[in-house]
Chain A
Amino acid sequence: GDSVTQMEGPVTLSEEACLTINCTYTATGYPSLFWYVQYPGEGLQLLLKATKADDKGSNKGFEATYRKETTSFHLEKGSVQVSDSAVYFCALSEMDSSYKLIFGSGTRLLVRP
């Protein structure tokens, strides 16, 4: 069945460092891909998404490109802030929306001042 694999955390970075969180997927069809973020004490929030190959999702300085050839959707940010500390989940859906999601295990990011 479909699945999502993302790098284990925690990832600890200093403020203004570059971030990459790897995410790869397996799917029988052509899924939509998502990154969700969960700040402490809050629910999951949609960070960005891409619905077809070569699409780039972006939001709040984060980017991820849908790479069909490598079945990947790595999350990147050029300069992280302390406020980016959270757990990040990669997910896929066979729909164009987050209607029904298959998640990765989550990666905790800790950014130090």
Chain B
Amino acid sequence: GAVVSQHPSRVICKSGTSVKIECRSLDFQATTMFWYRQFPKKSLMLMATSNEGSKATYEQGVEKDKFLINHASLTLSTLTVTSAHPEDSSFYICSASLGTMNTEAFFGQGTRLTVV
């Protein structure tokens, strides 16, 4: 299957700082990328859908000014957690798709964010 690389796999940051997470499709062009978040013992929750070259579409309840998503190229999307707080500590996972609604999406390894 296609390979999606997410970096970093783990990050610890101080409260008030910003953290950037990268999601790269290594062997295909990803028109659409998705960002998910997982709380302990809870489901992976879709945060936003990003299409290359346009603004991301955020799910209800997700603060777009808090979680900045940039999808500037067909192989890279970034999620920046701004002014991080301990409650932002979570597991973040991206997936990437060729873009049409009947194509599969492939997942990155996830990023464990801890805010202290």
Binding site for B on A (CB under 8 A): 4, 8, 36, 41-46, 89, 95-106
Cβ contact within 8 Å between A43 and B110: yes
Q: Which of B12-20, B82-90, B97-105 sits within the interface?
A: B97-105
Residues of chain B in range 21-46 having any CB-CB distance to chain A below 8 Å: 32, 34, 36, 38, 41-46
Main secondary structure of the interface of B (DSSP, over half): strand
The tally of CB-CB contacts under 8 A between chains A and B is 67
Contact with A along B1-16 (1 / 0, CB 8 A): 1001010010000000
Which residues in A have their C-beta under 8 angstroms from that of B32? 99
6 pairs from A and B in contact (CB 8 Å cutoff): A41-B9, A43-B109, A44-B93, A103-B43, A105-B43, A106-B44
Main secondary structure of the interface of A (DSSP, over half): loop
Binding site for A on B (CB under 8 A): 1, 4, 6, 9, 32, 34, 36, 38, 41-46, 49, 93, 95, 97, 100-110
Which one of A97, A103, A106 contacts B101 once the chains associate, using CB atoms below 8 Å? A97
Cβ contact within 8 Å between A105 and B104: no
